[in-house]
Amino acid sequence: MSYWPEFLTIVIAHALAVASPGPDFALVLRQSLAHGRRVAVWASLGIGSGIGFHVGYCLLGLGLLLKGSPAALNVVKYLGAAYLAWVGVQALRSKPREGDLDLAEGNAAPTNGAAWTQGFIVNVFNPKAALFFIALFALRVNPATPKLIQLGYGVWLVLATMAWFCLVSVLFTKPEVRRRFLCYGHWIDRALGVVFLAFAAALVLAKLG
């Protein structure tokens, strides 16, 4: 039996989902512009690790249980909204930078672990991401597909997500982009803060299930 048609369906669905603007993209964009490539790449790795978390419980069969539990989904929803709101408020408090951008950052840039954790939390506590992967594995993956093959699908999803957001990190940390950000960065940061708050509000108002 060939699993290529199934795999290609997953690849296309995931590519469309990961390329669409959302909290993950907004986070990587902000980290790229505010703190540079190192922080953005570690946030990207955290987001990819969050995908691995979603894939893991789907493979274990817990995804359908989560989908069938409105209470559990609501807990995830409100935790995710609260965290996005916190990130948004932090971005809104951004102040103008002076001098060289790298020097202006000083010790304010998150550590590798902190950047990874932020990416992981933003992805894991996004119930829409959870529902996407539950639907992907429930509707697009044949139950007869061996678990080892399904694990291979999951590895692809994790690596493809990391690769995409690392690419975003590189594109938005080009020297010319960084120089422009030195002048207008606090306004971009504040705009992204509004975006995060909008995501949080949309999440609170969203009907899941």
Contacts of 185 (CB under 8 A, 6+ apart): 33, 34, 94, 96, 97, 101
Residue matched to tokens 């119930």: 127
Separation CA 125–CA 128 (nearest Å): 9
Contact indicator for 50, 122 with CB cutoff of 8 Å? yes
Q: How confident is the model at residue 78 (pLDDT cuts 50, 70, 90)?
A: confident
Whether residue 167 has pLDDT greater than 80: yes
Contact indicator for 8, 141 with CB cutoff of 8 Å? no
What is the C-alpha radius of gyration for the chain, rounded to an integer number of angstroms? Answer: 18
> Amino acid identity of 2?
S
Contact indicator for 128, 37 with CB cutoff of 8 Å? no
* Cα dihedral 182, 172, 109, 204 sign: positive
What pLDDT is attached to residue 178? 67
Which three-class secondary structure state does DSSP give residue 140?
Answer: coil
- Find the largest Cα–Cα distance for the chain: 61
Mean pLDDT for the chain? 84
Whether residue 133 has pLDDT greater than 80: yes
What pLDDT is attached to residue 123? 95
